[in-house]
Structure 1
Amino acid sequence: MSTTLFKVVRSHAAPAIGARAADWRDDALCRSHPNPELWFPKGTDAVSMADERQAKQICTGCPVMAACRRWAVETREDSGVWGGLSERERYNLRRRARSRNTDPAVRVLTFPSIKDAYKALTQKTGRHVIWTGGNEVKVGKARLTPNQVAWQATRRRPPVGRVFTDCETDGCVRHLNDQAMRQARDTQKREAAACGTRSGYQKHKRLGETACETCRQANADADRRLRNTGTTTERSAA
C-alpha cells in the first residue's frame, strides 16, 4: 500500500505540487523525463532490470536525490525507484531500522494465516476495501505488503510479478493488478487498435472469427481502392 502524497501509481513525476510551498519536488529530474516508466520496472527480467539501473543512474545526478530517498523511506513508498533505491532496498533499510528499535508500537504484526491478516486489517467501504494496518505484516516467516496480503486472500491464483493498486482511493486493496493483468490489458489495447483496418479484417479471418463491422467496412474500402487505383493504400488529398 502506498502512502504517497499523490495518487497516480504508475507515474513517477515527483508528488503533485498543488498549492504547497516550493520544496525538493520542484527540482526532481524525474518530473521532466520523457519516460517515467523507467522508475517502475515491470518485473525481474533483463529489460526491467536495465530500466531500474537506468533510473538509478539518473537519480545519482538529481540534485534532490537525498530528499527524495528520505521522503520515500519515511512514507513507506512501496512502488518503484525513489532516491536511487528500489522497493527491496528501501525495505531493507526499514528492516534494519526496526531491528534497532525496541518500541512495541512499531513492530510488524504477526498472523497465523493470510486470511487472518486480511480479516483483521481491512474494512469494507462501499465499493472499496481499505487497509487499516501498517505497511507490512508477517505470516509465518514471510513478510508481506498489504497488496500481497489482499491479493492472496481474495484470489484463486498467486500474483505474477509485482502487485500494484488499481484504484484512486487511498488505501484500497480491493482493486489490484499484477503483471499478467497488465500484459493482458496491453494486448487488448493493441488488438483494439488494429480493428477498423484491412489487417484487422484479415486477423479476424485467421482466427476463424466473424469480422466486426468496422473491419468489414475497412476491408470493403480497401478493395474498392484496389480496383480504382491499383493500391489498397488510402491517398491523402493534395
Structure 2
Amino acid sequence: MSTTIFKAGKSHTAPNTADRATDWRDAALCRSHPDPEMWFPKGTDAVSMANEAEAKRVCAGCPALMACREWAIESREDSGVWGGLSERDRYNLRRRGRSRNTEPAIRIVTFPSVKDAYEALTQKDGRHVLWNGGNEVKVGKARLTPNQVAWQATRRRTPVGRIFTDCETDGCVRHLNDQVIRQAREATRRATTERSAA
C-alpha cells in the first residue's frame, strides 16, 4: 500500500512496506522494550554501564541475537549494543581479526531465581506463554531447559520425569506435562476404552 502525503502544495509518496518480508528485526526484543535508549549508552559512568549490562541481558534472551550480531559485525556498526555485543566488544573482535564464525560462545545469563528467568524470558500471547530465551538458562548454579524453568516457576510440585509440551504453538511453555500427567491421561484413556468396549 502506498500513501501520498500532501504538505504545503508538495506531495511525497511513502514507501510501500506492507508487503515487506519479515526479517530478524521483527523478532528482536528491543523493538518492544520500554527504554530503547538503553541500547545506546552515552559513556562509561555507572548509569551507562548499568544500561549496557541490562541491554546485554535482554539480548541474551532474544531470538534474533545471532542475526543481529552478524548484521552489526558485517555492517561495522560502531555505536550501541547489537546482538549482545557493545561497540567495545565488536571493536575488540575486529582488532583481533576474528570473523563471525570464530566468535566466542554466547554467554548464558545467570538469573537468581526461576521466577526471574521466567518473567524475563517469556511473553504472554493469548492462551500461550512464549519462550523468548535460548535453549538453556542458568539459575544460580543449575542449568535448566525452558520447560524446566516454566514448570518450576508456575507449578507447586516438582516434576516427575521429563517435561514435554502439549502445545503445537512453537515456543509455548504454558501447556506442559510430566510423567504424572501422562500416566493419569493414559489411565483415563484406558478406562474410557474399557467402558466403551463393555
| TM norm structure 2 | 0.47
| TM norm structure 1 | 0.39
Greater relative contact order (CA < 8 Å, ≥ 6 in sequence): 1
